[in-house]
Chains A and B, each alone.
Chain A
Amino acid sequence: MACHRVAGLPAGDHSDPVAPSSGSIPPPSGHGRGLSRRRFLAAASLGTLALTGCGTGFSLARGEGTGSVEGRLSFSLWAGDAELTVFQELADAWTRSSGVPVALNVVPFGELLTGVDAQLAGDRAPDLFRVTYQDIGLYAAGGALLDVTDRLPREVTQGFTDAFRQAVSQDGRLYGVPHHTDTSLVLYDVEAVQAAGLDPPTTLDEAWTWEEFTDAARRLPTRADQFPFAVNWQQAGAYRWLNWVAQNGGRLLDDDLTGPAVDSRAVREALVLTQGFFTEGLVPPTTSTKGSYADELFTTQTIGMVFAGDFLLPTIEPTLAEQGRQYGATFLPRAESAAADLGGNAVVATATSVNPEAAADFLAFLAGDEAQARFCEQAVVLPTRTALIERGLEYALRPDLMELYVEQATTISQDLVEQVTVPQFNAVNTSLVERLESAFLGNADAGEVLDGLADDIEGRLS
């Protein structure tokens, strides 16, 4: 690009800066500078030949690519190191039994769906891709996903808990498998908590109330550049703010999921409480909905407590171990009831896959008891299958904390799942990011914020 701009300089402009001031017009290129038309044409021809030469070295990649082709499955996903290892292991295991190779196309989280959108538009979509529960509705409603209701064995589809089966369903049809889930807990720095004389709850029934949690946060010792805690509601995670709403008995969408339900005492109280975290200086101002991820600040000792998903443990654990710090976990605060966010991901097959049978078979394998157990144990995430939840898993990392995560996950309500999996939820989430940011950092009036949010939701859902 830089070369293009330099080359785009008008010749008369930079080689003869005197010209305009002196009133003369720069001579046209090719005149009076020893560049005859013949020479120009010869030079241009050489340039064209050179470009042609360059062209011979460029060709579109042939062969595998990321699209769906017969004889193998292409699977686009994002994955951390631990996840990728076990995904590869499972894909290899399935290939050994089916004879069909699986090509994993690993891209960063933020780029996967943009790429899949483009591939869908260009009819070059992969056979399978990983997707959050919040995004699946959009693809299902757009006809992009393979309806696997009748393609998956009954023992597979019936093995999921109702909330997770709901998370991958639309109009009673199944559009993928709930591969795993995750949810949030409050992680705390043991030293900081002990210094404050706090005794974090160890059972769900004893979870801090909103008031108890806020008081505990106020007691945490902080230096000038430290804060008591941060919440994980940044960017695509803005929906996690709905935990506070659900804990207080409120809803974002009405019962039939066609309009806003934010004009309520429960939602207003949730907003006032969370807005207060910022105005009181309990959370770093950089952790608003457009800000930086909260877990980064926990590992840098900027905050004493952090709301964090279990999938972050493989990142947090080695960092804190290296620093010689200890951390523990407690349950999310509660109000009228406990409530937690629906995290985790599904795996879906595309409607344009030329290998629908193989894709469905791979999904069934991936979501089976043994494969899911293996994935969850190694990647430190939570299962969606009833049998695994009941039997318990042997996690590779911090099994003591994972027990709490499993217990917290029981508070993911079907009610909340239904709201965050409507087809338009990603657009609604974008509005949440904007409106909450104005409340948290702009200190906007809670009533005005909720009125604006209600208008946004009406527009998004229509």
Chain B
Amino acid sequence: MTTAATAAVTVRAPGTPEPGRRRRRGGEAPAAWALLAPNLLLFGLFLLLPLLATSWLSLYSSSGFGPREYVGADNYRELFADATFWRSALNTAVYAGLTVPVSLVLGLGVALAINRPMRGRGLLRAVYYLPYVISGVVVAVAGRWLFNENVGVVNRALRAIGLPGVAWQSEAVPAMAALVLISVWTKVGFAMVVYLAALQGVPAEYREAAATDGASRWQTLRHVVVPLLRPTTVFLVVLGVIESFQVFDVVYVLTGGGPGNATEMLVTYAYAEGFDARRQGYAAAIGVVTYLVVLALTAVWWRRQRGREVVS
């Protein structure tokens, strides 16, 4: 090594890239930006811009057209004193609290059941996944056909065997149950597919070792497989909760938020205020608060995952 080269190495601060490497990075930057640009453009145009516009609109009283009136934080003050808003938030939490665990447990069960060589496995996987790719409105219309209190398939079947019909549309608990049942039907397929992918990564040696140690099938599942699936479960829980906070089409078509406000969700309430009552500033405030709640939930999950990795 020459003296000059030694000096160059000596003066380079820790972490500073080598000159050659810096040149290569400089060359990569335009390509990186070029690759990022379409995504950033779409993100800015369809996510960031509407988000900022919604936040701005939430400070106004507006019917959607005509003059707007600046009202500052009035929409938010009204929101926090609005019993229907809190009821909607509670309903959304209950809906998430029921649909997410039930669809995960069923999804895992189905994934375990078809995670072995068998005839028609592909067909079964498609059948379970199909409801997830059907339009939410179509699913809800099918739900109305099933759960119509007067002429629905379920109540007719119940009456046919001498049982009383269930008040799916006019009582709070059955209405929420109908909503949860139809939602779970659509979500199980997605959970199944993700769990099925995750199960491919569970080493067979672990199961064999457990079996050698005398563990039963249930014990192997409980103490070996399920813990190994934890990252997948956490991912599905977070995704499911976020999805639950966005639920609209099924509720709008199946129950309309009723009876009373028993199945009113944050998004359906925002829609009703924005497009039925034409209070778009107030609806925007509901949207902003919902966004912040989802953001907080995601941040908690992200920090928790990050902390887990740091500890590891």
Chain A residues close to B by CB (< 8 Å): 2, 5-6, 9-10, 12-21, 23-25, 41, 44-45, 48, 51, 113-114, 117, 120-121, 138-139, 141-144, 224-225, 235, 284-286, 288, 290-292, 297, 300, 302, 426-427, 429-431, 434, 437-438, 441-442, 460
B312 within 8 A of A: yes
> Could you give 12 example pairs across A and B, Cβ below 8 Å?
A9-B194, A9-B235, A10-B231, A14-B197, A14-B231, A18-B203, A45-B35, A142-B63, A284-B170, A427-B279, A430-B272, A460-B277
List residues of B (151-169) whose CB comes within 8 Å of A's CBs: 151, 155, 159, 165, 167, 169
When A2-B133, A18-B201, A291-B170 are in contact, do A225 and B260 touch as well, CB less than 8 Å?
no
| Closest A residue by C-beta to B203 | A18
Contact with A along B180-207 (1 / 0, CB 8 A): 0000000000100110011111110010
Expressed in whole angstroms, the Cα–Cα distance for A292 and B31 within the complex equals: 57
Nearest A residue to B35, CB-CB: A44
B297-312 interface bits toward A, Cβ cutoff 8 Å, 1 = contact, 0 = none? 0000000000011001
Q: Select one of B84, B167, B198, B201 contacting A285, CB under 8 A.
A: B167
Does B214 have its Cβ within 8 Å of any Cβ on chain A?
no
Which chain A residues lie closer than 8 Å to B169 at the CB level? 285-286, 291-292
Q: Which one of B10-18, B99-107, B114-122, B222-230 is at the A interface?
A: B222-230
Q: Is B259 an interface position by the 8 A CB rule?
A: yes
Residues of A within 8 A of B171 (CB): 285
Q: Given that A114-B275, A138-B278, A302-B150 are known contacts, is A48 also in contact with B194, CB under 8 Å in the complex?
A: no
In the assembled complex, B232 has its CB within 8 A of some CB on chain A:
yes
Min CB distance, A143 to chain B, in Å? 5
10 smallest CB-CB distances across A and B, nearest first, come from A142-B66, A290-B258, A285-B170, A430-B277, A427-B277, A120-B65, A13-B231, A286-B169, A117-B64, A17-B228
For A434, what are the chain B residues with a Cβ–Cβ distance below 8 Å? 84, 261
Closest chain B CB from A25 CB (angstroms): 6
Cβ of B291 within 8 Å of any chain A Cβ, yes or no, is no
Residues in B neighbouring A144, C-beta threshold 8 A:
65-66
B91 at the interface (CB under 8 A from A): no
- Given the contacts A286-B170, A426-B277, A430-B272, A225 and B165 also touching, CB distance less than 8 Å: yes
Q: Which residues of B contact A286 (CB under 8 A)?
A: 148-150, 169-170
Cross-chain contact B272 with A225 (CB below 8 angstroms): no
Return the contact of B150 from the options A13, A121, A300, A438 (Cβ within 8 A).
A300
Report the count of interface residues on B (CB-CB < 8 A): 58
- How far is A233 from B78 in the complex, measured between Cα atoms in Å? 28
> CA of A119 to CA of B167 in the docked complex: distance in angstroms?
40
In whole angstroms, how far apart are the Cα atoms of A429 and B279 in the complex?
13
Q: Are B232 and A121 in contact (CB under 8 A)?
A: no
Residue pair A17, B202 in contact (C-beta under 8 Å) = yes
CB A263 to nearest CB in B, in angstroms, measures 21
Knowing A9-B235, A13-B235, A18-B201, the reply to whether A288 touches B190 (Cβ < 8 A) is no
**Distance in angstroms between the alpha carbons of A160 and B199 in the assembled complex:** 73
B20 at the interface (CB under 8 A from A): no
Please name all residues of chain B whose beta carbon is closer than 8 Å to the beta carbon of A9 when the two chains form the complex. 194, 197, 235
Known: A17-B201, A285-B167, A434-B261; 19 extra A-B contacts, CB below 8 A, are A6-B193, A13-B232, A17-B199, A18-B228, A41-B35, A117-B278, A139-B65, A143-B66, A225-B159, A284-B150, A285-B149, A285-B169, A286-B170, A288-B170, A288-B258, A288-B259, A302-B150, A429-B276, A437-B259
Contact B309 A17 (CB under 8 A): no
Looking at the complex, which one of A15, A45, A430, A438 makes contact with B197 (CB distance below 8 Å)?
Answer: A15
